[in-house]
Amino acid sequence: MSEGYAQPPTAGLPGNVAIHGPGDPHDGHSHPHHPKLQHHFDDMAQQAEASTLGMWVFLVTEIMFFGGLFMAYLMYRWANPDGFQEASAHLSIWLGGFNTAVLIFSSLTMAMAVRAAQTSAPPKTQVGWLLGTIALGLVFLVVKYFEYAEKFSHNLVPGPNFVWEGQYANAAEIFYSIYFCMTGLHALHMIIGIGIMAVITWMAWRRQFDATYYTPVEVSGLYWHFVDIVWIFLFPLLYLIGRHYGAH
Amino acid sequence: MSSVAHHVAPVRLYLAIFGALLVGTVITVVVAFFDLGALNNVVMLAIACAKALLVVLFFMHVRWSSRLTWVVAASGFFWLLILFVLTMSDYMSRGWVAGTLR
Amino acid sequence: MATLNYLNNGHGLASWLLTKDHKRIALLYLASITAFFFIGGLFAFMIRLELLTPAGDVMTPENYNKMFTMHGVVMVFFFLIPSIPAVLGNFLLPIMLGCKDLAFPRINLLSWYIYVLGGIFTLVAALSGGVDTGWTFYTPYSTAAANSHVITAALGVFITGFSSILTGLNFIITTHRMRAPGMTWFRLPLFVWAHYATSLIMILGTPVIAITVLLVAAERVLHFGIFDPALGGDPILFQHLFWFYSHPAVYIMILPAMGVVSELVQAFSRKNIFGYSFIAFSSLAIAIIGFLVWGHHIFVAGQSVYAGMIFSVITFLVAVPSAIKVFNWVATIYRGSVSLDSPMLYAFGFIGLFTIGGLTGLFLAAMGLDIHVHDTYFVVAHFHYIMVGGAIMGYLGGLHYWWPKMTGRLYPEAWAKFAALLVFVGFNLTFFPQFLVGYLGMPRRYHMYPPEFQVFNVLSTAGATVLAVGYLLPMVYFAYSLARGERAPADPWGAKGLEWEIPSPPPTENFPVTPIVTHGTHQYAPSKEVGVV
């Protein structure tokens, strides 16, 4: 690091700074660039890389965000294994399993949508895959709605109206608190994801994406896949606790 | 203007991953109905982690992304482990010291 | 007369409120953070007023609880955490990296609006009656019993957390991917290393407190019983989740200040930093190890003894990288050509006071001793030595150092020296007695105390008054400098670094051409060159 001190400035420029020659891409608009290139980036590659990396850093925050809930789940399940088992049995394994398949399918359609943009597929193709993803997301939410409605009508919502007929009422109430917090937060992320997809779909319809620029599709895809991954963990942890004692 | 250099995965690969994810789900559900003792949780978590890894590597393109992307993704899950392990170290060691409340 | 620079490039409110320029956003933050600093200071004043006398005679106990709660919430979340990163980091990071702006300028602006929104929520909570749970929101009081505006305040904290996350995200991506050609990691200024480490903490820690305060709100509103003992819930779980963030948060507060000090000691000793890579790696070490020690806040609350032992040992370890930095700063100053300009006075203050604060942290890390001093004024003094004697001094030192660059004006140096002196004297008078009275047993968060503690409290309140004057003075002379200060040259201090090679104030695009860096940007004359005949 200490290579001696910098030379005194010459011609108004410090010694450790070199200037580019004329016609250099950095000295203003001397060359055409992609209309979507933001000016603080050097080129599209840097912009795309920064955007995907930025989304990954954001997803890390989402991992830690959901992670707090997973921590609560971990501790309470460790402390109340039988109570959690009893409580989990009331969840419908078929609805949960179906929803898992729906989300996995939606990840496929999402990957295909990114690929379509990546390969400069016609807008109709891109929009098709994106609409498919949205549709599957909506199916997931509809199923979730029915699950929640059933919980409400069976007094399984924690709080003053909570009624539990099994042996471990307290543990069950904690289980359902965590259930609603985790699946509720997940559903909220799904809704946001569908909103984002709607915007991306509109942009794709307006021919904004091709092989030279498809970053928004890729970055939204990353978000969508992440929400799928959360469910990949939620399903077994909430729905499949000790089913071998008799399914419901 | 070159395209943003990114590997284009073949459709076959995506379909294969999709199939693997569905198969993993089915196995998880089936295994849950058998009593394997402590192994139930292990199998379930292992399959979930494998599914997550497939999504991350292939659907999220980390397989073909820079090392930095890989490090970022891994660090999130690793940090969660820190939260889990150190917190559970409290709960699991309560009552280890005889004659105290904790 | 002024040439085109970022300040006069575009006029009118919209050009400021809709700016994408990181330098303008830094000034937006400067304004709002200053406002919150004085709001937090007002609450502190109320605390010190009550504690002048042993009896609780100025306000009711409930109101006193609200004072220390609001003081903590405002100072931690709306001043200390954003301050250096959002003001100095936002302004300087792109310039120090040699690029035109941060990676995501619009997200940068968004982060300021989110900060303001969170601040509004918190102010609403304060104005509609206040929160009395302590800034730590411990359950079950915060979820079940408190009658105050917990949800509004919790939401304010939740919202502002996203401002922190977005800032950290921007810094990480920019540092990784937008460095100028030739700017390798080990040519980066230590200020950048410090902010990079800080950003790691922001990303990895903040979401956990976000979900935690959300759960508190859920428990209050929906009566979900996650921390409720009546349902078998565990209040300690809240503390684990809360402190998982809030301990690393204190490193968010101190690391940037350390980055500032690294710059200051070089500039004002005219000497390259001693042990550059040690300081760089120590920043990372503090960030990482800092995530492993949170249980030292829970020693006496019911955590297991074995977990306590683990946390205690690691807490001792985390002091090591901080100590390495202090040694390296001192080694830099030793045999340097030291000038006692006002920023350097703050740097000296930081080194001494942070050392005291850090050493007393070791007292607290020892479980046996912690049992005696936990929840006393010893703890309060410890963290104020670090937060105020450390972080705020770093902030003020940096503000003074880079003020000419940011505003193009020189401030009156004599006044600045005087203010620095007042801050140092006032600070020690305020907080040193608190070590003593805490050790003697005075509990924190109590509005009354036994009469034998009064002399310490009177000294403390007197000190706080001096400190307040010391903090108000910069407001006056900085404002004066904007109107009548001498115009600043590009490099008023004779310092080294990319920011000193562009005009004061800088042009909007920072560099007319992208710099190509050929060696480390901080190259000071070796001290033996001084006085060479």
A212 touches chain B (CB under 8 A): yes
- Which DSSP string do the residues of C223-284 spell out, in sequence order? ---SS-GGGT--HHHHHHHHHHHHHHHHHHHHHHHHHHHHHHHHHHHTSPPTTHHHHHHHHH
Helix, strand or coil for residue C348?
A: helix
Across chain A, which has 248 residues, the per-10-residue mean pLDDT values are 30 41 44 84 92 97 97 95 92 95 97 96 96 98 97 92 90 94 97 98 95 95 97 96 61
Angle, helix C22-50 to helix C105-127, in steps of 10 degrees: 20
Size (chain A), residues: 248
Cα separation, B57 vs B77, in Å, equals 14
User: What value does the mean pLDDT take over residues C388-400?
Assistant: 98
> How many domains does chain A contain in total?
1
Tens-place pLDDT, residues C277-316: 999 999 999 999 999 999 999 999 999 999 999 999 999 9
Q: Please give the ipTM for the structure prediction.
A: 0.94
Cα separation, C351 vs C261, in Å, equals 8
Report yes or no on A4 lying in a domain. no
Residues 6+ apart with CB under 8 A from B23: none
Give the model's pLDDT for residue C525: 67
Give the model's pLDDT for residue A22: 37
Q: What is the CATH superfamily name and number for domain C13-527? A: Cytochrome c oxidase-like, subunit I domain (1.20.210.10)
Q: Using 50, 70 and 90 to split pLDDT, how confident is the model at B101?
A: low
Tens-place pLDDT, residues C194-228: 999 999 999 999 999 999 999 999 998 888 889 98
Give the model's pLDDT for residue A244: 66
Distances (CA, A) of B86 to A80, A193, A199, B72, C310: 19, 33, 42, 22, 9
Q: Where are the domains of chain C?
A: 13-527
Q: Using 50, 70 and 90 to split pLDDT, how confident is the model at C457?
A: very high
Q: Which domain range does residue A180 map to?
A: 44-245
User: What value does the mean pLDDT take over residues C78-84?
Assistant: 98
Give the model's pLDDT for residue C531: 43
Give the model's pLDDT for residue B36: 84
Q: What is the CA radius of gyration of chain C?
A: 23
Report yes or no on A13 lying in a domain. no
Average pLDDT, chain C: 95
Interface size between A and C, measured as CB pairs under 8 A: 156
Is A27 or B7 the better-scoring residue by pLDDT?
Answer: B7
Tens-place pLDDT, residues C241-288: 999 999 999 999 999 999 999 999 999 999 999 999 999 999 999 999
Q: Using 50, 70 and 90 to split pLDDT, how confident is the model at C523?
A: confident
Cα separation, B42 vs C142, in Å, equals 37
Report yes or no on A87 lying in a domain. yes
Q: Is the pLDDT of residue B38 over 90?
A: no
Residues 6+ apart with CB under 8 A from C440: C453
User: What value does the mean pLDDT take over residues C459-464?
Assistant: 97
A229 touches chain C (CB under 8 A): no
Residue in C514, C527, C528, C532 to test binding to A, most A beta-carbons within 10 Å:
C514
**C241/A66 touch (CB, cutoff 8 Å), yes or no:** no
Q: Which helix (H) or strand (E) holds C35?
A: helix C22-50
| CB of C74 closer than 8 Å to CB of C151 | no
Tens-place pLDDT, residues B41-69: 899 999 999 999 999 999 999 999 999 99
Sign of CA dihedral B35, B36, B41, B46: negative
Give the model's pLDDT for residue A14: 43
Residues 6+ apart with CB under 8 A from A140: A99, A102, A103, A106, A190
Chain B nearest C-alpha distance from A34 (Å): 8
Average pLDDT, chain B: 89
Note if the pTM is more than 0.90: yes
User: What value does the mean pLDDT take over residues B10-28?
Assistant: 96
Report yes or no on A200 lying in a domain. yes
C58 touches chain B (CB under 8 A): no
Straight-line distance from the first to the last Cα atom of chain A, in angstroms, rounded to the nearest whole number = 68
CATH number, position A223:
1.20.120.80
Report yes or no on A49 lying in a domain. yes
Cα separation, C132 vs C37, in Å, equals 20
C525 touches chain A (CB under 8 A): yes
Give the model's pLDDT for residue C526: 62
**C203/A60 touch (CB, cutoff 8 Å), yes or no:** yes
Q: Is C128 exposed, middle or buried (0-12, 13-18, 19+ CB in 10 A)?
A: exposed
Cα separation, C134 vs C151, in Å, equals 14
Give the model's pLDDT for residue C195: 98
Residue % of chain B over a pLDDT of 70: 90
Tens-place pLDDT, residues C401-413: 999 999 999 999 9
Token representation of residue C265: 């000691």
Chain B nearest C-alpha distance from C208 (Å): 10
User: What value does the mean pLDDT take over residues B77-88?
Assistant: 95
C60 touches chain A (CB under 8 A): no
How many other C-beta atoms are found inside a 10 Å radius of the C-beta of residue B46? Answer: 13
Cα separation, A116 vs A201, in Å, equals 12
* Chain C residues whose beta carbon lies within 8 Å of the beta carbon of residue B82: 291-292
A104 touches chain B (CB under 8 A): yes
